[in-house]
């Protein structure tokens, strides 16, 4: 069974290749416990993070949209009250939920889990660990009544894969930033975003140091972005039948969970491993640890890295191609370049020169085009 309210997302999820055969519901707020199929093993929710993310409204778990996750607990509480067995739970959200309002969102979730009798574990995982060139840090929380959740999310640990910058042919950055940061990513794009109340979803930018000056600042295609989430190219194309706005597919891709990360969790749910990571009881001071486990009111912080999967890394330069990328527009580049010049950011060798040359080439191109459009005087 799947529950999704947004029509373009429903269109993609209901295709035969995805979850076409699943029972489909719309609004979780109207969902009754009786609609949840008997014998369900796992409830999983990637709830809206607009209130939890740094860019969002910072209302925290009490925010109307992120608060939707609390509906999941109401359903679980109803299941328990009626004597139904409680399924495993898997939640996903932004790392900011660990620190915002001193981790109030995580506290609210853990208190409900403890009250239901769950044992739980969570871990911050970077999508690059699944081999895709996207820096995407997300918190995954797994809770189980009978099993040991440590044997799923905390079962594997890998050495952080540091890119050798001298051989890297593509760097990602966020052209919408430039005041306090640039989202710089080596051989990867920064997190693909689903859009928020503050802005529409937009592609990241990529710096190609080996391309000719003036062609070094580009944006990937939506199909490139799908691949950076681990999807087949064209995965979200069906959404065009519902919404022709180009931002829709970007929002769908940005909202999603990276396929390789979901796949690793799925495999570990079927075949649990052994947790051998060092841990210590958490003092409760400051924000929550990046990884932890607990139950019955106790919390243990775990020394887990964010790279549990260690899949073969696909370089950003191999995912994009000269035909799939588009030069970043003059408006976007000059806006970003203008913001950057007031700061000390973006000091990677050649980057500022590339931005300058890109703006100049785009201005020349625009002038040449407007001259060509002029009607010749005879
Ligand atoms: C962060 S996204 C998670 C998407 C999910 N990870 C996926 O890959 O399909 C949150 C989703 O919650 C959906 N949503 C928001 N309000 C909802 C509601 N009341 N009932 C059901 N879904 C809702 C949004 O449309 C959005 O697709």
- List phi, psi (to 5°) of 212: -60, 150
> Per DSSP, what are the bridge partners of residue 93?
139
- Note the pLDDT of residue 135: 97
Of the listed 49, 143, 222, 252, which one is catalytic? 49
- Of 302, 330, 361, the domain-final residue: 302
171 and 294 belong to one structural domain? no
Is residue 180 a part of any domain in this protein?
Answer: yes
**Comparison of pLDDT for 126 and 54, the residue scoring more:** 126
Q: Kindly report, residue by residue over 193-222, the tens digit of the pLDDT.
A: 886 545 567 899 999 999 998 899 999 999
What's 121's domain CATH number?
A: 3.40.50.150
Tell me if 241 is assigned to some domain. Answer: no
pLDDT > 60? residue 34 = yes
- Ligand 1: does its nearest atom lie under 6 Å from the Cβ of 28? yes
- Rounded CA-CA distance 316/205 in Å is 12
Task: Show the domain range for 196.
Answer: 165-230+315-373
Helix (H) or strand (E) holding 254: helix 246-255
What's the CA gap between 262 and 186, in Å, rounded?
A: 24
* 248 domain-assigned: no
At residue 180 the predicted structure's pLDDT band, cuts being 50, 70 and 90, is: very high
pLDDT over 70 for what percent of the chain? 91
Tell whether 52 and 147 lie within a shared domain: yes
Compute the average pLDDT of residues 29-58. Answer: 80
pLDDT beyond 90 at 129: yes
The domain boundary residue, chosen from 302, 336, 364: 302
291-295 and 42-46 strand pairing: unpaired
Q: Cα separation of 69 and 71, whole Å?
A: 5
Residue 58: inside a domain, yes or no?
Answer: yes
Reported confidence tier of residue 16, pLDDT bands at 50, 70, 90? confident
Q: Are residues 88 and 46 in the same domain?
A: yes
Q: Do 191 and 255 form a contact (C-beta atoms < 8 A)? A: no
**Which tens digits make up the pLDDT trace of 310-338?**
899 999 999 999 899 999 999 999 999 99
Supply angle C-alpha 151, 153, 156, rounded to 5.
80
**Are 149 and 62 found together in one domain?**
yes
Residue 101: the pLDDT is: 82
Residues 67 and 191 occupy one common structural domain:
no
| pLDDT score for 20 | 80
Is the sign of the CA dihedral 68, 74, 79, 82 positive or negative?
Answer: negative
Considering the domain architecture, whether residues 173 and 280 belong to the same structural domain is answered as no
Q: Answer yes or no: is the C-beta of 48 below 6 A from any ligand 1 atom.
A: yes
Instruction: Give the span between the Cα atoms of 53 and 328, in whole angstroms.
Output: 26
How many CB atoms are closer than 10 A to CB 298?
10
Is residue 236 situated within a structural domain?
Answer: no
**Does 257 sit in the ligand 1 pocket, CB within 6 Å?**
yes
Residues 223 and 125 in one domain: no
Distance 47 CA to ligand 1 centre (A): 6
Mean pLDDT taken over the chain? 90
Report how far residue 234's alpha carbon sits from residue 225's, in angstroms, rounded to the nearest whole number.
10
Query: What is the structure's pLDDT at 310?
Result: 85
45 pairs with which residues across the strands?
91
- 49 in catalytic set: yes
Query: Which pLDDT score, from 0 to 100, does residue 377 have?
Result: 62
Distance 4 CA to ligand 1 centre (A): 5
**Closest C-alpha residue for ligand 1 atom 19:** 27
Q: Ligand 1 pocket: which of 24, 51, 52, 68 to mutate (most atoms <8 Å of CB)?
A: 68
Cα Rg of the chain, angstroms? 23
- The total number of residues written for the chain in this structure: 378
**88 φ, ψ to 5°?**
-65, 160
Domain membership of residue 252 (yes or no) is no
- Do 288 and 349 share a structural domain? no
The distance from CA 80 to its chain's CA centroid, rounded to whole angstroms, is 32
> Any bridge partners for residue 217, and if so which?
207
Q: What's the rounded mean pLDDT across residues 4-17?
A: 91
User: What pLDDT, on a 0 to 100 scale, did the predictor assign at position 21?
Assistant: 86
Tens digits of per-residue pLDDT, 53-64?
Answer: 555 555 666 666
Per residue in 76-89, pLDDT tens? Answer: 999 999 999 999 99
- Both 57 and 184 in one domain: the answer is no
User: Given a cut of 80, is residue 259 above it in pLDDT?
Assistant: yes
Residues 214 and 77 in one domain: no
pLDDT tens profile 131-159: 999 999 999 999 999 999 999 999 988 76
The pTM for the full model equals: 0.93
Provide the number of structural domains found in the chain: 2
Same domain, yes or no, for 16 and 103? Answer: yes
Helix 351-373 to helix 330-341 angle (10° resolution) is 140
Residues 88 and 181 in one domain: no
Inside any domain, residue 308: no
Strand partners for 142: 90, 121
Report d(CA 135, CA 126) in Å as an integer: 6
Ligand 1 contacts CB of residue 4 (under 6 A): yes
Determine the Cα angle at 230 with ends 266 and 317, to 5°: 145
CA dist., res. 51 & res. 48, Å (int):
8
pLDDT for 52: 59
The residue among 279, 302, 325 that closes a domain is 302
Instruction: Tell me if 239 is assigned to some domain.
Output: no
The residues pairing with 24 across neighbouring beta strands, listed in sequence order, are 2
């Amino acid at each position: 069974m799947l529950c999704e309210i947004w029509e373009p997302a429903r269109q993609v999820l209901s295709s035969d290749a995805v979850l076409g055969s699943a029972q489909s519901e719309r609004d979780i707020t109207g969902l009754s416990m009786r609609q949840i199929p008997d014998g369900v093993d796992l409830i999983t929710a990637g709830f809206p993070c607009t209130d939890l993310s740094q860019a969002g409204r910072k209302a925290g778990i009490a925010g109307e949209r992120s608060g939707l996750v609390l509906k999941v607990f109401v359903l679980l509480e109803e299941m328990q009250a009626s004597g139904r067995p409680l399924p495993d739970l898997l939640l996903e959200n932004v790392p900011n939920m660990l620190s915002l309002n001193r981790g109030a969102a995580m506290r609210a979730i853990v208190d409900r889990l403890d009250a239901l009798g769950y044992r739980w574990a969570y871990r911050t995982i970077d999508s690059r660990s699944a081999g895709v060139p996207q820096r995407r840090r997300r918190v995954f929380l797994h809770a189980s009544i009978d099993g040991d959740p440590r044997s799923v999310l905390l079962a594997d640990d890998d050495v952080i894969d540091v890119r050798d910058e001298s051989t890297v042919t593509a760097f990602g950055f966020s052209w919408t930033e430039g005041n306090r940061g640039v989202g710089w990513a080596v051989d990867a794009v920064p997190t693909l975003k689903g859009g928020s109340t503050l802005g529409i979803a937009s592609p990241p930018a990529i710096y190609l140091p080996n391309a000719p000056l003036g062609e070094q600042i580009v944006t990937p295609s939506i199909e490139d972005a799908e691949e950076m989430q681990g999807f087949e190219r064209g995965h979200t194309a069906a959404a065009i039948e519902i919404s022709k706005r180009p931002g829709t597919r970007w929002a769908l891709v940005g909202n999603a969970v990276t396929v390789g990360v979901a796949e690793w969790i799925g495999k570990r749910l079927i075949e649990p491993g052994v947790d051998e990571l060092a841990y210590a009881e958490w003092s409760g001071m400051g924000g929550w640890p990046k990884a932890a486990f607990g139950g019955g009111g106790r919390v243990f912080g775990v020394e887990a890295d964010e790279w549990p999967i260690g899949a073969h890394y696909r370089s950003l330069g191999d995912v994009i191609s000269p035909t799939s990328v588009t030069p970043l527009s003059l408006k976007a580049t000059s806006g970003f370049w203008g913001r950057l010049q007031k700061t000390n950011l973006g000091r990677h060798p050649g980057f500022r020169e590339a931005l300058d040359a890109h703006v100049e080439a785009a201005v020349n191109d625009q002038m040449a085009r407007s001259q060509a459009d002029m009607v010749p005087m005879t």
